[in-house]
Structure 1
Amino acid sequence: MCTLNQEKDAIEIQRLPVNSEEQVFHDWTIKYTKSHILHSICSSSEKCKDPASQCLLCVYTNTLELPHLPEMVFPNNKLILKHNSGAWIEFNALDALKKVCNGKQNLKVACSEEWKETRAPENLMEKIKPFDWTFSSDYRGTVSDIAVVTPTEERINIEKLKEKEKILFYQELMLYEDELHDNGISSCTIKIVSYIFHSSHCYARKFTK
């Protein structure tokens, strides 16, 4: 909800509540925040001229430099896993979208060739969007400076996952979603599952259809 403010070029945007929860699991503290989608208008064009005072929309627009953002972005949806040593890994929409390629991508929908056959050649003009409009991202989380990420041959123990355990903590967070101009859907979600005895699992899922 937006209302006009007497201050020039300022728009008051209703602050919706942010849902959050925190759980301690062995040496890890798991915390998430969850709230509404990114507003589609700038709250104050004057204040946003100062990089330190930018609204969330301007932060995303200026940081990512994409032709446009996904239809739904959830800037307050974050998952943080923090170890007692001080190391942490975080999942958030801004860093996930930083992984989207903003170079030219020759991507076409499945029905593009059939559509072209129904059009006169003189009315066709090849256009390549200047970025990956499916918002594909290989985002694997944002890690702290003291965390060390190393390659490993270790694999997930599938048999262990089959064991039935009581779930201590579960949450699914949507980072962003877009319907690709009614040609499908693209989404990025994070899931966290903690079992009461043995382990926690975090899943980063990028889905495009």
Structure 2
Amino acid sequence: MTTVPPPQTPAPASIPNMSNNLNPKYSINKTPNVHTIQIGQWEIETIKKPILNGKEIDSAEKSLNLPLPEMTFGNNSLRLTYLPSSQASSSYQIQEGGSDQIHLKFDSIEALAGVATGEGWEQRVGGGVQVSMADKWKTKSSSNSFSGDSPIPSKPVKPHDWTFSTCYSGSISGSTSSSFKPSPTHSLPLALLARQDPNLDRILFYDDVPLFEDELHDNGESILNVRIRVMPHSFFILSRLFVRVDNVLFRIHDVRIYHSFGSSEIVKEISGMEVGYDQVKRHLEKPSDLSPLTDINWVYQKMLSLSASSSVSSSIQSNKPWPGLGKRVEVFKLPKSDLDSIHDTLGNVKLS
């Protein structure tokens, strides 16, 4: 008789040993556009610069074959470098391209590369929003100076998702197997991340990096940004796409990444929700005050309670659903450090 194993229950990611992480060695360097923290085997860098200029816009639009959002922070990024060897010294002379390095990145141009384009993208990819403004957006000028008072240009641009609903979740590179793998047995340590101990959970480094913003021809907004906080025991990243199409729908696509310093895993949770505009609007305390609908945190909380039992009418979207919906967890295994490899080798030595 075959015994069926019990179903696996997701377990929290590695919980740090607090006694070893109260006072980690770290250094911070700040310039007007670049902030960096070096902690343990990690170098974490945020770059924040002005929106792209005209020449940069032309180059990016040609590369992506996509009209850019009104505010594209094409030089902004969050970059994390992991060096699993003795080279991660106090001097931290990390050189790009090291064979044993891992690079984790969130970048605005990479994110926009995930926007659906091409003839028939609505049916091929899914998630097309069918409203009257969509036809105007199909002929939107590639110039970021376009305003609602200007004539609609007659020359159409490449068909694209005018809400910029990218499902971008960052990129990772640097090893022969640089990819996150699906895991049914991992979850984020939510209790730890929600804890606010002034000593154990003090914020050593924090930044909020905008990647792009667009007002969707004054009919809503599409915003993508990425935040990071570094604590003595771990780092946590939240990348959030927020889309509001007035009188149509709300969309949120979240990417959460957690790593406990000293552990061998990076855990990524990707989740997406879509709820009808009126369903969220009904929860306003004052129906005449629409300002909460522009508060991303307020809308997010309402969507959490509604998304399980709500759906967006097929009359305002393509037949194929938006691919960003749902939730999944993925894990990346970090390469072992030189010291770990030595320990493993010694552990396998058998004395006769």
TM-score, structure 1 as length reference = 0.71
Within 5 A, what are the aligned runs for 1:51-200? 56-66=56-66, 68-85=67-84, 86-103=101-118, 104=120, 105=122, 106-109=128-131, 130-146=159-175, 147-153=178-184, 154-164=186-196, 165-195=201-231, 197-200=232-235
Q: Distance in 2 between matches of 1:59 and 1:134?
A: 21
The amino acid across from 2:60 in the alignment is Y
Are 2:35 and 1:21 aligned? yes
Q: Give the total of aligned pairs.
A: 162
The amino acid across from 2:35 in the alignment is E
Give the Å deviation of 1:18.
5.5
Q: Distance in 2 between matches of 1:94 and 1:111?
A: 25
Give the Å deviation of 1:144.
1.1
Q: Distance in 1 between matches of 2:182 and 2:40?
A: 24
Give the Å deviation of 1:152.
1.7
Q: 1:31 aligns with which of 29, 39, 45?
A: 45
What's the CA shift string for 1:140-176, capped at 9, x where partnerless? Answer: 1121141232112310111111221110000001100
Whether the 8 Å CA contact 2:57–2:68 is kept in 1: the answer is no
What's the CA shift string for 1:24-43, capped at 9, x where partnerless? Answer: 1222110111110011x23x
Q: Distance in 2 between matches of 1:69 and 1:102?
A: 12
Give the Å deviation of 1:204.
1.0
Whether the 8 Å CA contact 2:48–2:76 is kept in 1: the answer is yes
Could you say which residue in structure 1 is the equivalent of 2:20? none
Q: Secondary structure at the match of 1:95?
A: helix
Q: Distance in 1 between matches of 2:191 and 2:35?
A: 30
Deviating 4+ runs (over 6 angstroms): none
Whether the 8 Å CA contact 1:78–1:91 is kept in 2: the answer is yes
The amino acid across from 1:24 in the alignment is Q
What's the CA shift string for 1:91-141, capped at 9, x where partnerless? Answer: 1111000000013434234999xxxxxxxxxxxxxxxx8210000111111
What's the CA shift string for 1:37-86, capped at 9, x where partnerless? Answer: 011x23xxxxxxxxxxxxx22331111101x2100000111110100131
Q: 2:240 aligns with which of 197, 205, 208?
A: 205
The amino acid across from 1:59 in the alignment is S
Q: % of aligned pairs identical? A: 34
The amino acid across from 1:63 in the alignment is S
Q: Distance in 2 between matches of 1:80 and 1:63?
A: 22
| Long gaps (5+) in structure 1 | 1-16, 43-55, 113-128
Which protein shows a greater Rg? 2
Q: Distance in 2 between matches of 1:174 and 1:167?
A: 20
Change (3 A) 1:187 1:81: same
Q: Distance in 1 between matches of 2:214 and 2:171?
A: 22
Q: CA RMSD in A?
A: 2.2
Q: Distance in 1 between matches of 2:58 and 2:191?
A: 47
Q: Distance in 2 between matches of 1:178 and 1:94?
A: 15
